[in-house]
């Protein structure tokens, strides 16, 4: 599932291409991704046609496009959802160039002039799990009028920089675990902006339960740390709890735990305030680094709004690397299951909690 860096890359592209455009027509090819829409496809079309998109906003993995009538087009990408813009000119620098003002997220380093970082090194045939580590970024979007797995299309008003082929926003989704719907905007509980991309203290009603993310300047870090330390659950599960901090999935949880030197089985109650703070900052730092290069793409299911894949996979320290050497100490990485999710870790850098250490060969647990 796309995590915060991948969804933020999509959001930034939507903001560049869609802000200020009018939705002139809506076409629904498959109603299943609209299952959260009150009134079904007809209401979806009626409520969007003629509306102006004013911004693109994100909280955690949740996206929305505020409309000029005070509501919003809400979106969740699920496992394989893609929001692709077509027929629009590029109004500003590319996604990997420096973003100005509210478009900046965290302190991710910008790439001068919008150019990509240094080219890749490595053999042409890399391990399947690390596909993008040995390949340069490429456009994977189908440019046909009807791409495969197209579920809905929003026709958009033209702008002077457009090539004249017709501007549109496509929802392309193979597994259809995400979706689109029109939702009411409600005030935020803390009075701060609802998410990255808009200063309005509003967010969709369907996202009101989602906590702020680690790159949100309005996040109450002390409160998040207190909730983690109050729980006896494994810290890996706590990082994935979107009610504590949002936007973290399996990839960046494993990477952050490795960066902080903490095993995922350690219970929240065993974390001191400094250790908890160090862990959250480690997760935030790895997400900033991933965001700077468009996120992590293992296949063509994740692309940004312009159809380009992210390529942070080459920098992953532990995720997907079980059985390989730790980049820090050269011990062999291992994997196990915590709370139904895989966890890859270094047995030397990330010591298991004492009561959960594996028994020695031939010994039994007491």
pLDDT digits over 351-364, tens only?
A: 988 765 544 444 43
- Cα(276)–Cα(279) distance, integer angstroms: 5
Instruction: Strands of 87-178 (E only): list them.
Output: 150-156, 167-173
Considering the chain, tell me which residue range(s) the CATH 1.10.8.50 domain(s) occupy. Answer: 211-357
pLDDT for residue 146:
61
Of 359 and 350, more confident: 350
- Give the residue numbers annotated as catalytic, written as ranges: 2-3, 61, 341
Tokens standing for residue 58 = 């994100």
Confidence of residue 324 (pLDDT cuts 50, 70, 90): very high
| Residues listed for the chain | 366
Least confident of 57-71, 108-122, 268-282, 288-302: 108-122
Mean local confidence (pLDDT), 123-145 = 39
Q: Name which CATH class applies to 211-357.
A: mainly alpha
Spatial neighbors of 317 by CB under 8 A, at least 6 apart, are 255, 258, 259, 326, 327, 328
pLDDT for residue 165:
78
Rounded to 5 degrees, φ, ψ at 75 are: -145, 140
Mean local confidence (pLDDT), 109-115 = 29
Segment 55-83, tens digit of pLDDT = 999 999 999 999 999 999 999 888 777 89
Tokens standing for residue 288 = 């900033």
The burial of 70, by beta-carbon neighbours within 10 Å (0-12 exposed, 13-18 middle, 19 or more buried), is given as exposed
pTM of the predicted model as reported, rounded to 2 decimal places? 0.81
Considering the chain, tell me which residue range(s) the CATH 3.20.190.10 domain(s) occupy. Answer: 1-90+143-208
CATH superfamily name and code, 1-90+143-208: MutM-like, N-terminal (3.20.190.10)
* pLDDT over 80 (residue 116): no
- Cα(167)–Cα(119) distance, integer angstroms: 32
pLDDT for residue 117:
28
- Cα(125)–Cα(127) distance, integer angstroms: 7
Q: At what angle do helices 221-230 and 273-292 cross, to 10 degrees?
A: 120
Residues of the chain with pLDDT > 90, as a percent, come to: 63
Segment 263-285, tens digit of pLDDT = 999 999 999 999 999 999 999 99
- Summary mean pLDDT of the chain: 82
Q: Which of 167, 1, 193 is nearest to 78 (CA)?
A: 1
């Amino acid at each position: 599932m796309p995590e915060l860096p991948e969804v933020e890359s999509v959001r930034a592209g939507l903001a560049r291409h869609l802000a200020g455009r009018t939705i002139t027509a809506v076409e629904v090819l498959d109603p299943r991704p609209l299952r959260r829409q009150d009134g079904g496809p007809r209401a979806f079309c009626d409520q969007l046609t003629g509306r102006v998109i004013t911004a693109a906003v994100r909280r955690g993995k949740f996206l929305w496009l505020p409309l000029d009538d005070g509501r919003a087009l809400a979106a969740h990408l699920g496992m394989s959802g893609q929001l692709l813009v077509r027929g629009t000119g590029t109004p500003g620098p590319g996604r990997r160039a420096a973003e100005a003002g509210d478009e900046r997220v965290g302190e991710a380093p910008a790439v001068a002039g919008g150019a990509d970082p240094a080219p890749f090194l490595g053999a042409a045939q890399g391990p399947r799990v690390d596909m993008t580590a040995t390949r340069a970024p490429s456009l994977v979007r189908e440019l046909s009028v009807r791409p495969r797995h197209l579920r809905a299309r929003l026709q958009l008003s033209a702008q002077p920089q457009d090539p004249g082929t017709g501007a549109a926003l496509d929802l392309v989704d193979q597994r259809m675990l995400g979706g689109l719907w029109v939702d009411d905007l409600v005030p935020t509980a803390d009075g701060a902006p609802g998410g990255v991309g808009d200063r309005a203290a509003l967010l969709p009603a369907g996202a009101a339960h989602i906590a702020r993310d680690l790159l949100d300047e309005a996040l109450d870090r002390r409160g998040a740390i207190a909730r983690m330390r109050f729980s006896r659950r494994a810290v890996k599960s706590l990082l994935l709890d979107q009610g504590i901090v949002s936007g973290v999935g399996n990839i960046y949880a494993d990477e952050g735990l490795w960066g902080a030197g903490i095993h995922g089985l350690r219970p929240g109650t065993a974390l001191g305030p400094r250790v908890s703070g160090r862990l959250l900052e480690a997760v935030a730092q790895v997400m900033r680094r991933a965001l700077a290069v468009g996120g992590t793409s293992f296949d063509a299911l994740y692309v940004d709004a312009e159809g380009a894949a992210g390529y942070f996979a080459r920098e992953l320290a532990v995720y997907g690397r079980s059985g390989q050497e730790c980049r820090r100490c050269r011990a062999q990485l291992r994997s196990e299951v915590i709370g139904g999710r895989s966890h890859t870790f270094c047995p030397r850098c990330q010591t298991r909690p004492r009561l959960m250490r594996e028994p020695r060969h031939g010994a039994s647990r007491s």
